[in-house]
Structure 1
Amino acid sequence: MAYTKCVLIILVCESLVLISLQYRQAYTGNSQSQVQTAMDGFEDVIRRFPKCAEGYALYAQALTDQQQFGKADQMYNKCIDLEPDNATTYVHKGLLQLQWKQDLDLGLDLISKAIEIDNKCDFAYETMGTIEVQRGNLDKAIDMFNKAINLAKSEMEMAHLYSLCDAAYAQTEVARKYGLKPPTL
């Protein structure tokens, strides 16, 4: 039984990796026919493995790229039904709400829920920091970026987060020095 389950997990992961790579290559190469083939592949994976939350999440991200926001939202909902404690899904769903409906409150609520679920989700802190920069809340943005920095998993990720934090800090210093109000959304 355990062996069968392991083989099934490997098949799902392999399928998702291949389809995700196919999709990214088609999307960046602007090949609509290959994008559609990859989208069909995502649908096939979630049909064959309906309890695989990662399949729904990756498909939702691709749907968001294709501006199929309603369907992406449905896929994130299914993913949350399957894995209600997956903080990253809440961040992606929050970003979808911002992009699709420009619903800042709902987007922030979902990202805050991600942090509530997993206070070590660096992606949630980074995203919250980025949104706070856009809202002109630079001190809060710096706080969020610092939390993400403390959770970074690689030097490259840490360097990226430091650059975001330093940019927010520089904006804060310029605003204070010249008596400016930071731009907001």
Structure 2
Amino acid sequence: MKEIIFYGRGGQGAVTAANLLASAALKSGNKGVQAFPFFGAERRGAPVKAFARISNEEIFLRSQIREPDIVVVLDTGIMDVIDVTQGLKENGTILLNTPRNPSELSLPYKTATVDATTIAIENEILVGGIPVVNTPMVGALIRLLDGVKLEALQEAVMERFKGRAGEKNANAVKVAYEKVKL
């Protein structure tokens, strides 16, 4: 079983990202998937987190994830206020939304990076002029996971976002999948 925590800010789509991952994992043949948010009194811009579990077996756990295999950070600014690596497994991976290469970062974990902000801007995935990076981040994430297919994620995205928005987001998923730096 793989356990993932998504960190973002309210309005960035961390919860949608977890749900899209779960949907794509199910479409890819995984028998056990979960996606759920952790909400406090957050407002747009406040730190939020969402959880996802993926397994080839049925999942009976019904708790927050305390020791993730992968941490996905939609907004690296959140790292100034939250220790996103808390509980990250010793061989865990952190995926960051940054244009920097993993080798430039001095993190004590396996690190992957993708410039999801630029990908969102180039694909016109904006709300009120602000880039929404959730779909590119999930596209990058599935490069780190076995058993979740790119085509399944694109299908899940097209079901969630209709018409032109779906096409833009599905393309952003593919671009991020191809551009993630491991």
TM-score calculated relative to the size of structure 2: 0.26
The TM-score with structure 1 as length reference comes to 0.26
More helix by share: 1
Structure having greater relative contact order (Cα 8 Å, sep ≥ 6): 2
Question: Which structure is higher in strand share?
Answer: 2
